[in-house]
Amino acid sequence: MSMRARWRYQRTGVRISPTPPSENMPEYSIYKQKQPREHYDPNCIFCRIIEGKIPSFHVYKDDSFEAFLDITPLNPGHTIVVPKEHYRWVWDVPEAGKMFEVTRKIAKAMQTALGTEWIVEFVIGEAVEHAHIQLIPRFADDGHGGAINFAARKQLSKEQMEQAAEMLRKALQE
């Protein structure tokens, strides 16, 4: 952080990032109000999604965690749960237990919204270097077979993605 940025950060609590978000982005007002994060990596795609610099199909949000759809889903509704702070691994997250509770809540909503009991989860952590848990709903004849085939990504339209996110958000409110 530069001297000027540090000064402004201390004075206003607003962190100056190397590439400020566009004024036209709908999330900009949220971004401005947001408390600066202690752990943040400007090169991390998840950090950028959390800041609203990269649009996402948002599923869930609370003070510490967010969830959004995987942009190259293995099945419709494939969701990624992340801490808002940048941690490398899930075991670096101070509220790791709470993260799993959030994941459970989303998985339960997924069962209701998508009409399947079969939800698989992955905690690998190698795709993006920001702690994350993946939730993937499974369906009969979904093209994966007995176990998820990571090469079998689905091509969904923007409308289909938004519809899946909307169904999950709605189920989470019930």
- Triad 31, 33, 39: Cα angle to 5°: 65
Q: Report the nearest approach of Zn ion to the CB of residue 89 (Å).
A: 12
Residue in 78, 84, 86, 132 binding Zn ion, rule: CB under 5 A: 86
Sign, Cα dihedral of 8, 14, 16, 22: negative
Site for Zn ion in 92-151 (CB under 5 A): 130
Q: Report the nearest approach of Zn ion to the CB of residue 90 (Å).
A: 13
Instruction: For residue 36, give every residue at least 6 positions away whose Cβ sits within 8 Å of its Cβ, in sequence order, or none.
Output: 9, 13, 14, 15
Q: Which is nearer to Zn ion, 53 or 130 (CB)?
A: 130
Q: How far apart are CA 148 and CA 79, in angstroms?
A: 15
Q: Which is nearer to Zn ion, 34 or 138 (CB)?
A: 34
Q: Which is nearer to Zn ion, 46 or 68 (CB)?
A: 46
Instruction: Work out the burial of residue 163: count CB atoms within 10 Å of its CB; fewer than 13 is exposed, 13-18 middle, 19 or more buried.
Output: middle
Q: Report the nearest approach of Zn ion to the CB of residue 120 (Å).
A: 24
Tell me if residue 152 falls in helix, strand or coil: coil
Q: Report the nearest approach of Zn ion to the CB of residue 47 (Å).
A: 3
Which token pair is 171? Answer: 């189920």
Q: Which is nearer to Zn ion, 90 or 164 (CB)?
A: 90
Q: Count residues contacting Zn ion (CB under 5 A)?
A: 6
Q: Report the nearest approach of Zn ion to the CB of residue 123 (Å).
A: 16
In order of 40, 61, 165, the CA distances from 33 in angstroms are 16, 15, 24
Q: Which is nearer to Zn ion, 44 or 67 (CB)?
A: 44
Site for Zn ion in 38-77 (CB under 5 A): 41, 44, 46-47
Footprint on this chain of Zn ion (rule: CB under 5 A): 41, 44, 46-47, 86, 130
